[in-house]
Structure 1
Amino acid sequence: MKSHIAELAGIRESVLAGPSEKATAAQHAKGKLTARERIELLLDPGSFQEVEPLRRHRATGFGLEAKKPYTDGVITGWGTVE
Protein backbone atom coordinates (compact mmCIF):
# COMPACT_ATOMS: atom_id res chain seq x y z
CA MET A 1 0.00 0.00 0.00
CA LYS A 2 2.81 2.42 0.89
CA SER A 3 4.45 1.82 -2.48
CA HIS A 4 1.21 2.80 -4.26
CA ILE A 5 0.94 5.96 -2.18
CA ALA A 6 4.57 6.81 -2.92
CA GLU A 7 3.97 6.18 -6.63
CA LEU A 8 0.92 8.46 -6.61
CA ALA A 9 2.88 11.16 -4.78
CA GLY A 10 5.63 10.92 -7.41
CA ILE A 11 3.13 11.23 -10.26
CA ARG A 12 1.45 14.20 -8.62
CA GLU A 13 4.83 15.89 -8.10
CA SER A 14 5.75 15.43 -11.77
CA VAL A 15 2.36 16.78 -12.87
CA LEU A 16 2.76 19.89 -10.74
CA ALA A 17 6.31 20.37 -12.02
CA GLY A 18 4.79 21.07 -15.42
CA PRO A 19 6.09 20.27 -18.88
CA SER A 20 9.54 18.91 -19.62
CA GLU A 21 12.57 21.16 -19.31
CA LYS A 22 12.80 21.20 -23.11
CA ALA A 23 9.18 22.36 -23.49
CA THR A 24 9.61 24.98 -20.76
CA ALA A 25 12.80 26.28 -22.39
CA ALA A 26 11.00 26.51 -25.74
CA GLN A 27 8.23 28.62 -24.16
CA HIS A 28 10.75 30.87 -22.42
CA ALA A 29 12.76 31.26 -25.67
CA LYS A 30 9.60 32.67 -27.28
CA GLY A 31 9.23 35.12 -24.41
CA LYS A 32 6.28 33.17 -22.99
CA LEU A 33 5.53 31.63 -19.61
CA THR A 34 4.13 28.16 -19.03
CA ALA A 35 0.46 27.86 -18.09
CA ARG A 36 1.32 27.10 -14.46
CA GLU A 37 3.66 30.11 -14.30
CA ARG A 38 0.86 32.36 -15.63
CA ILE A 39 -1.60 30.96 -13.08
CA GLU A 40 0.95 31.57 -10.31
CA LEU A 41 1.34 35.22 -11.36
CA LEU A 42 -2.40 35.84 -11.74
CA LEU A 43 -3.75 34.38 -8.50
CA ASP A 44 -3.04 35.02 -4.84
CA PRO A 45 -0.20 32.82 -3.52
CA GLY A 46 -1.41 29.39 -2.43
CA SER A 47 -5.03 30.00 -3.46
CA PHE A 48 -5.16 27.89 -6.64
CA GLN A 49 -7.16 24.68 -6.25
CA GLU A 50 -6.68 22.45 -9.28
CA VAL A 51 -9.44 20.16 -10.51
CA GLU A 52 -8.44 16.68 -11.72
CA PRO A 53 -4.67 17.17 -12.19
CA LEU A 54 -4.20 13.45 -12.93
CA ARG A 55 -6.80 13.29 -15.71
CA ARG A 56 -5.78 11.65 -19.01
CA HIS A 57 -7.62 11.17 -22.29
CA ARG A 58 -8.67 7.78 -23.64
CA ALA A 59 -8.53 8.59 -27.35
CA THR A 60 -6.93 6.01 -29.64
CA GLY A 61 -7.12 7.65 -33.07
CA PHE A 62 -4.45 9.69 -34.81
CA GLY A 63 -1.66 8.17 -32.70
CA LEU A 64 -3.02 9.69 -29.50
CA GLU A 65 -2.70 6.40 -27.62
CA ALA A 66 1.05 7.05 -27.44
CA LYS A 67 0.64 10.55 -25.99
CA LYS A 68 -1.25 10.79 -22.73
CA PRO A 69 -0.18 13.91 -20.84
CA TYR A 70 -1.57 14.43 -17.37
CA THR A 71 -4.24 17.14 -17.15
CA ASP A 72 -4.92 16.22 -20.77
CA GLY A 73 -3.16 19.42 -21.75
CA VAL A 74 -5.66 21.60 -19.86
CA ILE A 75 -5.26 23.05 -16.36
CA THR A 76 -8.53 23.82 -14.60
CA GLY A 77 -9.29 25.09 -11.13
CA TRP A 78 -10.08 28.17 -9.11
CA GLY A 79 -8.33 30.68 -6.91
CA THR A 80 -8.60 34.17 -5.50
CA VAL A 81 -7.43 37.53 -6.81
CA GLU A 82 -7.15 40.39 -4.33
Structure 2
Amino acid sequence: MGIIEDKIKDLKEREAKILQMGGEKAVTRQRDQGKLNARERLDVLFDPGTFREIDMFVSHR
Protein backbone atom coordinates (compact mmCIF):
# COMPACT_ATOMS: atom_id res chain seq x y z
CA MET A 1 0.00 0.00 0.00
CA GLY A 2 1.03 3.56 -0.54
CA ILE A 3 1.32 6.29 2.04
CA ILE A 4 -2.05 7.83 1.22
CA GLU A 5 -3.84 4.49 1.37
CA ASP A 6 -2.23 3.82 4.77
CA LYS A 7 -3.39 7.19 6.07
CA ILE A 8 -6.92 6.64 4.79
CA LYS A 9 -6.99 3.20 6.42
CA ASP A 10 -5.77 4.74 9.69
CA LEU A 11 -8.47 7.44 9.57
CA LYS A 12 -11.19 4.86 8.93
CA GLU A 13 -9.96 2.76 11.86
CA ARG A 14 -9.93 5.82 14.14
CA GLU A 15 -13.42 6.79 12.97
CA ALA A 16 -14.73 3.28 13.71
CA LYS A 17 -13.25 3.44 17.21
CA ILE A 18 -14.81 6.86 17.83
CA LEU A 19 -18.22 5.64 16.66
CA GLN A 20 -18.10 2.85 19.25
CA MET A 21 -18.77 5.54 21.89
CA GLY A 22 -16.34 4.12 24.44
CA GLY A 23 -17.12 0.49 23.69
CA GLU A 24 -20.04 -1.81 24.27
CA LYS A 25 -19.47 -1.90 28.03
CA ALA A 26 -19.74 1.89 28.32
CA VAL A 27 -22.83 2.03 26.09
CA THR A 28 -24.51 -0.76 28.07
CA ARG A 29 -23.75 0.97 31.38
CA GLN A 30 -25.28 4.19 30.07
CA ARG A 31 -28.39 2.39 28.80
CA ASP A 32 -28.76 0.61 32.15
CA GLN A 33 -28.94 4.07 33.73
CA GLY A 34 -31.75 4.99 31.34
CA LYS A 35 -29.57 7.38 29.34
CA LEU A 36 -28.99 7.83 25.61
CA ASN A 37 -25.47 8.30 24.31
CA ALA A 38 -24.53 11.55 22.57
CA ARG A 39 -25.24 10.34 19.05
CA GLU A 40 -28.60 8.88 20.07
CA ARG A 41 -29.55 12.23 21.65
CA LEU A 42 -28.61 14.01 18.42
CA ASP A 43 -30.80 11.57 16.47
CA VAL A 44 -33.72 12.55 18.70
CA LEU A 45 -33.09 16.29 18.32
CA PHE A 46 -32.52 16.53 14.57
CA ASP A 47 -34.53 15.42 11.58
CA PRO A 48 -32.99 12.43 9.75
CA GLY A 49 -30.23 13.46 7.37
CA THR A 50 -29.98 17.07 8.62
CA PHE A 51 -27.07 16.73 11.08
CA ARG A 52 -23.50 16.61 9.81
CA GLU A 53 -20.83 15.95 12.42
CA ILE A 54 -17.65 17.97 12.16
CA ASP A 55 -14.45 17.75 14.20
CA MET A 56 -14.95 14.06 14.95
CA PHE A 57 -11.23 13.65 15.61
CA VAL A 58 -10.90 16.53 18.09
CA SER A 59 -9.97 15.46 21.59
CA HIS A 60 -10.32 17.57 24.70
CA ARG A 61 -7.69 17.95 27.37
Structure 1 length-normalised TM: 0.61
Partner of 2:29: 26
SS at match of 1:27: helix
Could you list the runs of 5+ residues in structure 1 that have no partner in the other structure?
60-82
Aligned letter for 1:4?
A: K
Higher strand share: 1
Matched, 1:52 2:61: no
Inter-CA distance 16–47: structure 2 relative to 1 (3 Å threshold): farther
Aligned length: 58
Q: How do 1:4-15 and structure 2 match up within 5 A?
A: 4-15=7-18
Instruction: Quote the Cα distance in structure 2 between the aligned partners of 1:47 and 1:17.
Output: 21
Instruction: Quote the Cα distance in structure 2 between the aligned partners of 1:33 and 1:18.
Output: 11
Q: Note the C-alpha offset of 1:17.
A: 3.0
Q: Percent identity?
A: 36
SS at match of 1:49: coil
Matched, 1:39 2:60: no
- CA RMSD of the aligned region, Å? 1.4
